[in-house]
Amino acid sequence: MKKSASLIAFCLFVATTCPAEVYTKSNDIISVEINRNYPIITSFRINGTLVVPDDNAGADFQMTARSIDGNAYNPTQGGDCRGNASILTGVIPNWDGAGFGIPASNGILLGVSPRNYNETYTCLGAGEILPYAFNFGITLGDGIHFPQEMMAVDMSIKKNSGAKDVIKNMSELPAAFPYSSLMRYAFYADKNNNIY
């Protein structure tokens, strides 16, 4: 991920604002839409069937971290519990940083300043931008170097000055809320790589 971090740093250095453009990546099997109102995957389709819908900023396809305060201090790629979006700070729309030899047109890398989700049992209001730098990259398989049925996700979190520590096993890297009727074989692995 060092390569992706340096690329995003370059993007942030040379650009003061990032486009509000919606990006689409497709390899004829997997199709994703990125950055429709939120700097996350806002639509994920397999063979044209919607698998992860654009439901809300807290329940799409993204990365989210938590401190000992749980959702009350929850730097989230999407945004806060009121629907205010996190900030897209950089984008490399054709990114080959995953390192599989796949064409850059199959990848994208986002830099995000995450907003606090800011919820306990109820929404506590607008969440502030928290002092972290998120990098979120995806690479779709090309059928040559990597199967088209697969998508690699690269994620990193940089803690900036003043940030609270995040708890790895309370964080979701990534978080996705698929239709269970379509993704019956979804699984997750904990920090010890135990698969469930």
Report the amino acid identity of residue 11: C
Edge-to-edge strands of the sheet including 49-52?
23-26, 30-34, 41-46, 49-52
CB 25 within 8 A of CB 34: yes
Residues 155-176 have pLDDT tens digits of: 999 999 999 999 888 888 888 7
pLDDT at 15 over 80: no
- Nearest 5 degrees, angle CA 93-CA 174-CA 56? 80
In our burial notation (b when 16+ CB lie closer than 10 A, e otherwise), range 41-80 reads bbbbbbeeeebbbbeebbebbbbbbbbeeebbbbbbbbbb
CB 179 within 8 A of CB 185: no
End-to-end CA distance of the chain: 26
What's the pTM value of the predicted model, to 2 decimals? 0.81
* Mean pLDDT of all residues in 46-64: 80
